[in-house]
A and B are shown apart, each in its own frame.
Chain A
């Protein structure tokens, strides 16, 4: 499988990269390349120009500041996976990074690419919805912040303009009582989710849920945030009854279709099961 011909540029500054995008409406940004290059090989994409941002300095980092964990968009999945900070304080993110594709792919694939590609089967979108993350888009006119809830506009489409680059993802810094979990059913390592659930909760000393984020992967045209399920948790003591009520609502929010990974009914049932199990784990982690 051979890609079609295209031009290539590897700017070393963000401004040069943005300028190239503005000048070439048929350009595509090349980040980790692990969605784009396979698409090129299958000739499902034929950009005139690839703007490789791997040589732009300063786009890969993890830092806590101002109440946020800020993640450079070019941070590799493998670096999320091996980060002690992520493992200790952001278990939902750690779980997610570890379940993306396979270990070799994770060495190049980036969190920014996973979000900007907006494949409904990608794992980070649900996780970022659960975290209530926000992202920074850099364009010719400067930077703007996009709440993650406004980012995904459809399958493979986002609110990024063609001449904008996603540069940073921010999620709320860990507070006491935070706990999260990502559970994914896949047929084998490297597969997209049959169904996956991202949950991020906060429980206070009394065991009452003070905030909840719950979202689903590959169960609709985009990642789905389950607002009703979240509402069923907030303000409630996080007991089995609350967990099950939330899981029922999550299953109602799912929009699965039958395919080779399973029937619509199976996938909906998985949402219930995974939500319950993910919430139990998140609760355990929140109490640590």
Chain B
């Protein structure tokens, strides 16, 4: 019998074998007989009237079979579709395009080369219209209106907290710091782009839809909602999400190309594949961030934070196409009080339309937590520096204390557990904080620039409790269906969908831990809506807090059944039995025992007459609260005064995600998340000029770090279990992405504070640093 490999075992991943040998099954690997290709003509303009569309030349290209325009879709009322945020967006335009790279015409052809030739041969005549790309300008009264169906460019206004109480606290504060912080628009840039293969079976009126989806069940329901009126009924839609080459939130939204592929398959009666290229992926798929934050933080005489206020403009582009829970238009941005104990806070956020692609997704981020953490961690650092205090000491004074948990934050979140002091102290020990400060002082005396940056973040993941969390009305529970076969081997299916997180291993370990069946013998399946139980999918670090919890509860339900069978077989009372790893034994007589394999076998062959046969169950887990992972990161940078280049010398990351199921996988998640925190902090940004043209639409200009730029991560841990999760776990995937950017920014500002620099927006590129050095007289002209 193999090892059980429950919690704490760095079991090697079960899914590796296929990926290592080229046998992964990604969307573009699917090939069906008679399959056609769809490619898309896109707008070069950010705002333009379509004067005419001429497909006559394209129609002459041998192998081009047809076109779909907005007018074609309009006949079926399919030219609009809902977004997951309850807004809507065009599938194809009727007469006006609203952002650059918007889909305009779909071309269907026999193969991908011919489809591309068809796209190149379509002529669209546009009349360019004025654009608004700056969300602040979009809020002015006499501006261009982005949406014809709306009264203004303000999508929503949302506020939370105690406005008057906060104002009063600010009025009495000893120190107040204010800063404008911009969190720029970025892109998930998973190495696999998005795509789908729609296969309509006209005889059985059934659609099989293969698609790169982090939330296949939601897709099925959305498809039924969009196209139910033309005959796509939910029982006849099967969504299959195969292996996914990176998701990070970008594969949560439904894109127009998906609807087009389905429409084309239905119209032509053939399977139709659509795979984006990289430029389409960067230019048109949902972006992340793009928050303009005015932040204020106040402290009393003793250096205790007393109040926080934030006023924010959220640029959503042409549609609010984020995947946020419906009650929270600004996501969980009000986690922005962070790891600190103060009771007065207020924030307001305005969502705004602009002539940019719609979004934004929660890129490795539980709905705007990255924005929140960056804002509070920058502000805390500024406040500490303003007071002339060491930022570590300032944090240690202001942290919520371990004995205060569960802790109700000023903006209404109940933090489940934490020990922030410990995490920061571990990080300081690992990096040798005091020595670094001494070195910094010496270097500064010599004119050298070195900075130390801290980020002590609190995350909020695992959406979420049904009373608070839904997406388009669908409650955000998640699920596990567990079936154990007569020989004691199991299959478990989930409503989530791994994109590299290692669910096939981790989930198996949860079941192994709870039921004693070796993880190797627990087969995990996700992504096929015909077989998997309903769930909201994998994003926002919710898989372990929700579906992982469902797995544990399902396994415990079956363990209860096993107890009944054991009592029957061992001829004792259920209460006389005790569980040990993989067996029940009679208390005081460890020799009298039945293993889980024996008990499962009996469930099929010799079960008590008053008990149902079989050994299966399903559980839909509704989390009682979110989980609040946290950590402290410390970053050391050296700055080249001649070039403005910032070199990351060291980066220590201490994470606390509660119970660690598979430490190897957790560490891998942290490494990857740190690089995805480093990237927007130092390199990546999608920039638009005043005409709405994107810079950063290829991998030549969108700066995904290579192994050379990516820092070498040093990781540490503390373990503070969640008190409400069945086995004390919290999510971890996005903590590092959320926590890392302010550590970099704080380090750079720490290096420059004595020159008079208070803030720098990310990404902190070399030219940006050089301009600061220049402004403050510290640039070195060799």
Contacts and interface: CB of A to CB of B under 8 A. Distances in A.
B72 interface: no
A187 B766 CA distance: 8
Interface in B259-309: 277-279
A263 interface: yes
Contact of B643 (A102, A244, A273): A273
A270 B774 CA distance: 12
A188 B687 contact: no
Contacts, number: 71
> Chain A, interface size: which category?
20 to 34
Interface string A272-287: 1111110000000000
A270 B781 CA distance: 8
A191 B781 CA distance: 24
Contact of A190 (B279, B706, B771): B706
A189 B706 contact: yes
A261, A270, A274: residue with the most chain B Cβ atoms closer than 10 Å: A270
Interface stretch (B113-121, B407-415, B607-615, B668-676): B113-121
Nearest to B114: A2
Contacts of A274: 643
A185, A261, A266: residue with the most chain B Cβ atoms closer than 10 Å: A266
B112 interface: yes
Contacts of A269: 770, 774, 779, 781
Given A190-B706, A273-B781, A2 B766 contact: no
Interface in B694-731: 695, 700-701, 703-706, 708-709
B708 A262 contact: no
Interface in B658-701: 683, 687, 695, 700-701
Nearest to A258: B767
A2 B767 contact: no
A188 B645 CA distance: 11
A97 B774 CA distance: 32
A187 B120 contact: no
Contact of A276 (B117, B771, B782): B782
B765 interface: yes
B573 interface: no
Nearest to B644: A266
B780 interface: yes
Contacts of A5: 117
B706 A270 contact: no
A260 B277 contact: no
Contact of A188 (B277, B643, B709, B770): B709
Nearest to A276: B782
A1, A102, A190, A269: residue with the most chain B Cβ atoms closer than 10 Å: A269
Contact of B782 (A4, A185, A247): A247
B765 A188 contact: no
A246 B780 CA distance: 17
Contact of B642 (A2, A187, A188, A273): A273
A194 interface: yes
Contacts of B703: 187-188, 191
A85 to B, nearest CB: 26
B277 A1 contact: yes
A82 interface: no
B120, B683, B708, B781: residue with the most chain A Cβ atoms closer than 10 Å: B781
B120 A260 contact: no
B729 to A, nearest CB: 36
B754 to A, nearest CB: 22
A187 B765 contact: yes
Contacts of A247: 782
Interface in A187-210: 187-191, 194
Contacts of B767: 194, 261-263, 266
A80 B450 CA distance: 37
Interface residues of B, number: 33
A4 B61 CA distance: 12
Contacts of A261: 767
A247 B766 CA distance: 20
A4 B117 contact: yes
B187 to A, nearest CB: 15
A265 B781 CA distance: 12
Given A2-B116, A188-B708, A273-B780, A260 B695 contact: yes
B302 to A, nearest CB: 43
A55 interface: no
Interface string B761-777: 00001110011001000
A2 B704 CA distance: 23
Contacts of B705: 188
Given A260-B695, A266-B767, A269-B770, A244 B701 contact: no
Contacts of A189: 706, 708-709
Interface in B199-244: none
A87 interface: no
A266 B117 CA distance: 42
B704 to A, nearest CB: 8
A260 B708 CA distance: 21
B116 to A, nearest CB: 4
Contacts of A1: 116, 277-279
Interface string A1-35: 11011000000000000000000000000000000
Contacts of B643: 185, 270, 273-274
Given A188-B703, A262-B766, A262-B767, A272 B277 contact: no
Nearest to B277: A1
A4 B781 CA distance: 48
A43 interface: yes
A1 B698 CA distance: 12
Contacts of A190: 700, 706
A102 B774 CA distance: 32
A262 B695 CA distance: 14
Contact of B770 (A266, A275, A276): A266
Contacts of A276: 782
Given A2-B113, A2-B116, A260-B695, A273 B782 contact: yes
A266 B782 contact: no
Contacts of A244: 782
A229 to B, nearest CB: 14
A185 B687 contact: no
B782 to A, nearest CB: 4
A274 B704 CA distance: 25
Nearest to B280: A1
A269 B704 CA distance: 26
B706 A272 contact: no
Contacts of A102: 706
Contacts of A275: 782
Contacts of B695: 260
Nearest to B769: A266
B766 A194 contact: yes
A194 B770 CA distance: 13
B700 A191 contact: yes
Contacts of B765: 187, 262
Contacts of B779: 269
A262 B112 CA distance: 38
A189 B705 CA distance: 8
A4 B642 CA distance: 45
A277 B113 contact: no
Contacts of B117: 2, 4-5
A224 B603 CA distance: 82
Interface of A: 1-2, 4-5, 43, 102, 185, 187-191, 194, 244, 247, 260-263, 265-266, 269-270, 272-277
- What are the 5 A-B residue pairs with the smallest beta carbon separation, nearest first? A262-B767, A276-B782, A2-B116, A273-B642, A273-B782
Given A261-B767, A266-B767, 16 more contacts: A102-B706, A185-B643, A187-B683, A190-B700, A191-B700, A194-B767, A247-B782, A262-B767, A262-B770, A263-B771, A269-B774, A269-B779, A270-B642, A274-B643, A275-B782, A277-B642
17 contacts: A1-B279, A5-B117, A185-B766, A187-B765, A189-B708, A189-B709, A244-B782, A260-B687, A266-B644, A266-B770, A266-B771, A269-B774, A270-B643, A272-B781, A273-B643, A274-B643, A275-B782
